[in-house]
Structure 1
Amino acid sequence: MSEQKEAAPSPGIQPYRAAAYTFSFQPANPTRHTRDPRYTTLIPRALLGRAVPKPVPSEPWATDDLYSYGYPSPDVTSSRGSRTKSAWGEDQYLKHDVEDSFYPELYVFNTSPVVHQSAEKIATSDEVSKLFQELNDVVGDGKTPKAYRGLYDTDAPGAGETVKVSMTTKICKLSESVRAQLSAGNSTYSKCVPKGPAARRNTKENDKDEDVRVDILVQASNPSPTQIDGESVRWSNAVSFTEVKARDDVDWRDRLILQISRYAGKICRYRSIISHLHCVTWCGHTVRLWYLNAGVLACSRSFDTREGHDQIEIVKILRLLCLEEHSTLLCGRWDVAVQKMFEVQADGEAEPLKANAINRMGALKIRSGPYGGRTAVFADQIGSDGKVLMLKVSWLADTLRSHEMEMLRGIQSVGLPYAPEPLGLAKIPASGFRSSPCQYLDISPRSAISCCALLTKQHIGDRIGPQVTGHDLLKIHIQLAEQLLKLAEREYHYRDINEGNVRVLHGYTDVLLLVDFGNMRKGLSPTGYSEMTYAEAMVDRATDDTRAANPMFLPTSSVPLKLAITRWEDGLEQVQSDFQRAVDGNASNGVRSGLQHVSAQLNYFRTVLRKLAMQSHRYIDDLESALYLHVWTVSKSGTLIDAQV
């Protein structure tokens, strides 16, 4: 994008305004795009410049496994955090997350005059101009020869793969040339690592072998191979990546978007904790800069490698990737493993304090994302009291940041065995890591998320496996029912029964340890809101319950609850529409007529509320899910439990 005069900084994005790069969003040009709607279902319609309905499954091309519409019915939709691959295909979950996160405006970057002048000088240099020309010659007209063209056949052997390999080589050379002209050629930071034979041997990290498929990895400074199960993991050294395709028309396709989302998830997994990430797609002549955080996916406009002014913008993108001084803009990271002490935020109950000095926080569990809660759990070594200092980092809506801490404080008097002791929310270092990434972009509040770092002292649990006998398993689930009852007597409802949360105390095989209280709710109160009417609270609670339900252990009430919610929402929409139609159709008596219509529909809404009230029984739902978990665990272990205990 051409250089623009810098606007006066607004309070919400001052941290970016001080940098060489400034980022924001702007509506897309309303020009209609000639994109095939079959393959661009994930792109917001506002970016395409038209209202395109999604094709229906009856179309012959809608049956392809890479273009499937097999979403779960609204009656069993679960939250991001509770989805499982076995309940629904992994790609389908990722599609759903992308649709939820894709921002309907273009991601815009502007640069300071110094950066613009530098990029212009580099782009017009003989060496870089020659490399751009060589790239364009390799790509040709940006279309794979018809004989090799398939649905997504850019990775298959043949002309498309040959073009890709040549493009990847040229892009790496272009990046190296930019690095050299920026006096960064001798730095190990941002060195581009193309896909090659050495990478092809490393298949341990991903069941889809996507660590060997990514075309260009941008490495961190002084990379050192991380060993997992004896094999080198390249993603632990990556700060960004570039995905290359031979054809222009692959740009914005669903498969490409899912691919970069999975790659971003790799970086979030092996370099946790990541607040935001930039990456690049290079499809034929079309280049885009992409931005991701836990709540937002966004892309820039397309830049054409054949256009001189766009070549300057591409050099700016390469500069963002190349210079270590921009590393915190490129990818914000909080390296918990090197933290030696945590400071707890004062919140009225917890005073500012320093936690005990820690040896080294090790990762217990990381849900890579890249979208949604993206939870990462770290723990120090076990102390003499059998407890560890544990840090749970999640990305949540602002209204939920302190929710789990408040729930843990509330259950301290319940008498729950081995309940975690909440210490408070840890202060998050500000250097490069953006705990509220959306506020810097002046983004829609709907997409706003914040980092929550909860510190607790608690016991460690082991997953229930072959070490647990049938008798012990029955004892554990009896304890589970008793603990759920204790919670329910104080109006606490756990709502997150699954294999990972129902554990045995470390060192034991017959002592239950219940972990992860982030989904817990109390009574009928909607989380984070107040002064709701009874009807609003009931609908909100039911919506929250069905959203959090785990499809693997789904209580039967979730289906009628979801149906009642849908009827409630549809009824409200219809009543509002009918009321407005009555007002518009009769200037003198329209309001009266509209109110009469609303009054006639009140019985319908009472029926829906009665259904919600009858099906909203959280304690029974917890017990039902616990029963399913018990049957599931017995089935997996292949053991039968003696009737005599």
Structure 2
Amino acid sequence: MATAGPGQAGAAVGSFAPPYTLLFPPAPPNAFSEKPTLIAATLQGCSPPTESQSHSDSSEPMRTISGSPPTFAALTSRRALAQRIRQIEAALLKDGTGRCFPTFYTMNTSPEVDRSAREILASEQVTNIFGSLNAAVKDKGLEKDLVRHICDLGAAVRSQLQPSRPQSHYGTFVRMENVRMDNDAADPEVNKVDIFVRGSNPSADANVNHWSNVVAFIEVKRTTGGDLTEQTALQCLRYARKMCHYRPVTSHIHFMTWCGSLVRLWYLDAVIFGCSEALDTHERSDRIEIVKILRLLCLEDHCALLTGYWDLAAQSQLKIEANEAADIKAHTIHVPVQSLYIRPGPFRTRTAIFASAVDGVMRERVIIVKASWVAFHLVAHELMILVAIQKDPVMRQGLPLAPVPVGLAEIPADFQRMTSDRLTPGSASAFPARAMCALVTRQHLGDPIGKYTSSRRLANLHKQFAEQLLVLARGEIHYRDINDGNMRVLRGDEDTLLIIDLGNARMGLCPRGQPRLPEAEATIKAAADDTRSGTPEFLPVCITKVAAAVQSWNEAMKSLSERILFLRKDAGRDAGSFAEKSRRAIIKSLPTLHKTLREAAVHSHRFIDDLESATYLHLWQTARRSDESHARIWTESMSEKLLKQNVKLSLWENWESMDTTMNDLCKDTGRKWRKTMLALQKTIRGAQKQVRKEIGLHFTREVTLETLKTRVQALEASSFSCEVQDIVNRLLQTENGLVPNKVLPTEVKCFETCIQLLKDAAEQTEDGDAQMESEDEQMEDEVEVIEDEGEETEDEVEEIGDEDEQMEDEDEQMEDELEQMKEVGAEQKMRAPMRGSQQTRRWRKRRYGRDVDEGSRLDDDVSGPPEAGLTIGPQKLSPDK
């Protein structure tokens, strides 16, 4: 970091130099790598050598060092915490990759700031603290010792800055070692920073702190090995994410990393993040710069520079900007608002929704403020869509619950409303700059569709969805942004659908925010916009072909532009030669340009593609409705299928694949519902094929290769001095447009058929449910009859069991009698058969219910008493003579 001299600082802004000027210098050519990383490769190559990072520097929770082993509950909690950290950091790694600016963040200060920093550093107190810091680093002590010294240093700087006035609570350095954050009761360790800089003194318990009160933070590592690593950066991004969540609306954040003796200042906004060069606490010149950074963190005078914060909830009125295109005059509305929904980010839109009323609001409109970071040309886009709906009587009548536009709220003067404000002119970025948009509307509040919404109600809601999409289509509006968050039910009426958020809607064939473009350029840009205007799971399958066509077009245009540029340099002042060679180069590129433009025109988003997206959403919502033990698995499986383009293509174009998916993941459904989904798939797919065939024929009629070649030959020599894009736009200009703008009759018929199918599904599912209930009652009656018969059968079995016991007693008695027979003499044995036969007949009569002749044989009765003359037992003897 450098300090501007008096002359240099004053030259920029006259005689008054700003205390701090913080910015990123222009990036060198090819600084943005084709294979981006979280930390820019250009920065890693310039970082000083560091010690190897120890395991204790990891962001995962450390093991507790104690005399007793951790309990099972503690281990389980630790594992869950570590998993949660990994999930957050994985998402941040994916979203943050490539956003690190490839040059170091610089800080220029005024002479007054420089003089103040030198005086503070010269004080004995600050000098001693720096000495203690360096000693702690050298001795490789504990991290908490380093944290304590840094907090002491912050307190010393604050006391030096405010010697003659009452101490303000702003800028206090708070150690988070033993402090609980009340907003993180569920997972306090996930976002527990080492040091945070307080904005004011909390009014509640001193041990309770609020993330909304944090203006900056410092992440501390024990050694220099943690400096400029991916893991340290991910930790800081987690903390920045928390700040954005509890401090909406935030424009930018500054924070520090203090790794051993290396200190860096970091900057983050909705598009980029980056860091300064490492400052070494052993170097006096670097210690001066460190003190300047601490001044920035401690002084409330620099709070807007440190972190931009627009506290909408603290305002009692909103100033509305004038907008001539929307026919809105500047005015003020007096209404306080409160937070309704926050998307923390820390990158992209960071959408924050505020409402004039949240609780107790049923079926009535409230004031809504939607603050989000969008591309500069999209700031007024959603406002113009809503204005178009209200100006069209048909759409206004067909969409009675659509938001009513009020205007765009005026942004505070000291709020950084553009993310490019920290970039010097001419600096490039891997991501386009964003601007703050605060859209004010009057609209109804909606609730998410319930997880366990019945098939009948879900079909009815999707019928209303299709009806409203048709109304938008008749008004030439492509909705596109279909997801479970935008499809809601009216608060107080769960049977009424409420569509919210038209920020991704497209009017006609032009890309969002660019209504006046030549046909060819508009077609390509609109197609490219289609690929990123929606939730990936629910995008239609045509997006794959559109993306390929746009890429081929851009490559062909780049190649042609480079060729024309080369010819211009090669020809020199020979304009005739340059024109002829350029003519041949353009004619050579025409087949590729014609083919790719046709692909983009044919497969770009059509109105009925919203029905395809709604079908995916319908499937996803149904999979989510499964029982609790399988709902998460089935929902994730459905999302995985919809995210893989080849699987989604098979699902959409093959009814068997669709049927299998429903059988596997939508188990809580009936046969009629599945037949309806297959009918929707068949109807929409058939209409899509027909519509794209019609568009292809229209394109071919309007633009042929021969016509284009003729137009190239007719171009004047002076035309080739224009930009290649302008030449191509002129060649592809048509009378009736490259693509039909209005909704086609085939699309209208498809909408009407789908609406009827969903209506029938809602009614049939309801009747089917009633029939199933009747069948269930009948089945219950049959079960009761069977149970009664079963009880009677059990009684009969008990009676038979009693008879068997009686028979067993008689058999035992008979066996005793036979034993006595064996003891008598031979004379008595000769008379035994008679008595044995009588006993046998009596037993058989009781056993079989009939009398059996003495001489009859029962070959199949092996359980009866033996014939007379046979012994009883396992050994068989011959009859007596």
TM-score (norm 1): 0.81
Q: Using the alignment, how far apart are the partners of 1:16 and 1:338 within structure 2? A: 36
Cα distance, 1:463 vs structure 2: 0.6
2:609 is aligned to 621
Q: Report what 1:640 is aligned to.
A: 669
Quote how far apart the aligned CAs of 1:7 are.
5.8
Q: What's the CA shift string for 1:202-222, capped at 9, x where partnerless?
A: 85465x94322x211111112
Equivalent AA in structure 2 for residue 626 of structure 1 = A
The one of 128, 131, 153 equivalent to 2:129 is: 131
More helix per residue: 1 or 2? 2
Residues 584 and 590 in structure 1, CA contact (< 8 A), matched pair in contact too? no
Partner of 1:172: 151
Q: Which residue number in structure 1 is paired with residue 415 of structure 2?
A: 433
- Contact in 2 for aligned 1:225/1:237 (Cα 8 Å): no
Match of 1:351 in 2: 329
Q: Give yes or no for the alignment of 1:424 onto 2:403.
A: no
1:386 and 2:364 matched: yes
Q: Is the 8 A contact 1:28 1:106 kept in 2?
A: no
Deviations 1:389-436 (A, max 9, x none): 111111122211111110001112313130000000111232x42223
Aligned position for 2:538: 553
Greater per-residue strand proportion: 1
Residue deviations 1:588-645, cap 9 Å, x none?
Answer: 8687556534422321121111211121133222111111111111111124366514
Q: Is the 8 A contact 1:224 1:237 kept in 2?
A: no
Q: How far apart, in 1, do the equivalents of 2:229 and 2:174 lie? A: 25
- 2:53 maps to which residue? none
Match of 2:38 in 1: 42
**Residue range with higher mean Cα deviation, 322-331 or 371-380:** 322-331
Number of the residue aligned with 1:140: 138
The offset of 1:103, in angstroms, is 2.9
Q: Which residue of 1 aligns with 2:191?
A: 211
Establish whether residue 362 from structure 1 lines up as the match of residue 360 from structure 2: no
TM alignment of 1:459-478, pairs within 5 A: 459-466=444-451, 468-478=453-463
- Tell me the distance in 2 between the aligned counterparts of 1:201 and 1:236: 11
CA distance in 2, matches of 1:603, 1:264: 50
Please identify, of 603-612 and 515-524, the stretch whose mean Cα deviation from structure 2 is larger: 603-612
From 472, 479, 495, the equivalent of 1:510 is 495
Structure ID, larger Rg: 2
Q: Contact between 1:392 and 1:454, CA under 8 Å: does it hold in 2?
A: yes
Whole-Å separation in 2 of the counterparts to 1:304 and 1:16: 33
In 2 relative to 1, CA 420–8 (structure 1 residues): closer, same or farther, beyond 3 Å? farther
Query: Which residue matches 1:3?
Result: 3
2:589 corresponds to 1:601: yes
Cα distance in 1 for residues equivalent to 2:23 and 2:528: 33
Contact 1:2 1:309 in 2 (8 A): no
Deviation at residue 445 of structure 1 after TM alignment: 7.8
2 CA distance for matches of 1:389 and 1:637? 33
- Structure 2: state its 5+ residue gaps: 47-57, 60-82, 627-667, 674-760, 767-881
Counterpart CA distance in 2 for 1:247 and 1:16 is 43
Asked whether 1:403 is paired with 2:388, we answer: no
**Alpha-carbon separation, structure 1, partners of 2:595 and 2:156:** 69
Letter in 1 for 2:235: Q
Measured after TM superposition, the shift of residue 9 of structure 1 is 7.6
Q: Deviations over 1:366-409 (max 9, x none)?
A: 11112211110000126797111111111122211111110001
- Checking the alignment, whether the CA contact within 8 Å between 1:27 and 1:106 is kept in structure 2 is no
1:302 Cα deviation from its structure 2 partner: 1.8
Distance 2:590 2:236 in 1: 48
Equivalent residue for 2:274?
A: 298
SS of aligned partner of 1:476? helix
Q: Does 1:325 align with 2:301?
A: yes
SS at match of 1:618: coil
Write the letter of the residue equivalent to 1:411: I
Find the aligned partners of 1:609 and 1:15 in 2 and give their Cα distance. 52
Give, as a single letter, the amino acid of the residue that structure 1 aligns with 2:541: T
Which residue type is aligned with residue 210 of structure 1?
A: V
Distance 1:232 1:625 in 2: 46
Query: RCO higher in 1 or 2 (8 Å CA, sep ≥ 6)?
Result: 1
Q: In structure 1, what is the equivalent of residue 526 of structure 2?
A: 541
**Residue 5 of structure 1 aligns to which amino acid in structure 2?**
G
Match of 2:177 among 185, 196, 217: 196
The equivalent of 1:23 in structure 2 is: 22
> Residues 459 and 193 of structure 1: is their aligned pair in 2 closer, same or farther, counting only changes over 3 Å?
same
**Bigger mean CA deviation after superposition, 544-553 or 21-30:** 21-30
SS of equivalent residue, structure 1 residue 429: coil
Seen in structure 2, the aligned counterparts of structure 1 residues 16 and 311 have a Cα distance that, compared at 3 Å, is farther
Could you say which residue in structure 1 is the equivalent of 2:550? 565
C-alpha RMSD of matched pairs (Å): 3.5
- Cα distance between partner residues in 2 of 1:115 and 1:125: 16
Q: TM-score, normalised by structure 2?
A: 0.60
Are the structure 2 counterparts of residues 534 and 627 from structure 1 closer, same or farther at C-alpha, using a change threshold of 3 Å?
same
Aligned residues: 578
- How far did residue 16 of structure 1 move? 13
Sort the Cα spacing of 1:449 and 1:6 in 2 relative to 1 into closer, same or farther, 3 A: farther
SS of corresponding position for 1:547: coil
Distance change in 2, residues 1:556/1:15 (3 Å): farther
- Relative to structure 1, the CA distance from residue 481 to residue 607 in structure 2 (aligned partners, 3 Å threshold; closer, same or farther) is same
Q: CA deviation at 1:246?
A: 2.5
Residue 112 (structure 1) aligns with: 110
Match of 1:149 in 2: none
Judging changes above 3 Å, is the alpha-carbon distance between structure 1 residues 112 and 584 closer, same or farther for their aligned structure 2 residues?
Answer: closer
Aligned partner of residue 480 in structure 2, secondary structure = coil
Q: Residue by residue, what CA displacement relative to the aligned partner does 1:29-78 show, whole Å, maximum 9, x if unpaired?
A: 99x9xxxx9x993334554569xxxxxxxxxxxxxx99xxxxxxxxxxxx
Q: Taking structure 1 as reference, are residues 171 and 287 closer, same or farther at Cα in structure 2, changes over 3 Å only?
A: same
1:91 and 1:598 map into 2 onto residues whose CA distance is 48
Separation (CA, whole Å) in 1 of partners of 2:579 and 2:348? 43
